Amino acid sequence: MLITTPNLRNPDEAYARLIATHDGLAEAESHALNARLLLILMNHIGDDAVLTQALELARKQR
């Protein structure tokens, strides 16, 4: 089951680290970083049902 309630110990710090990771990158490099990060996290999750839920939710929230 996909967790959709807040689940980060320190969401502001997590967001700041994500933004800092993109510092100095061109737009294309930033998009590539996001794609790599997404694939790494999808592999970590590994559960097809959870991934399907997450992809559907992300698509709805555009």
Structural domain contains residue 2: no
Structural domain contains residue 17: no
Cα gap 8→10, rounded to integer Å: 5
Q: Which domain holds residue 38?
A: 26-62
* pLDDT score for 52: 97
Structural domain contains residue 46: yes
Mean pLDDT of the chain: 96
Cα gap 19→58, rounded to integer Å: 19
Structural domain contains residue 50: yes
Cα angle at 37 between 31 and 39, to 5 degrees?
A: 105
Residue-wise pLDDT tens for the chain (62 aa)? Answer: 999 999 999 999 999 999 999 999 999 999 999 999 999 999 999 999 999 999 999 999 86
Residues 51 and 42: beta-carbon distance below 8 Å: yes
Structural domain contains residue 18: no
* pLDDT score for 47: 97
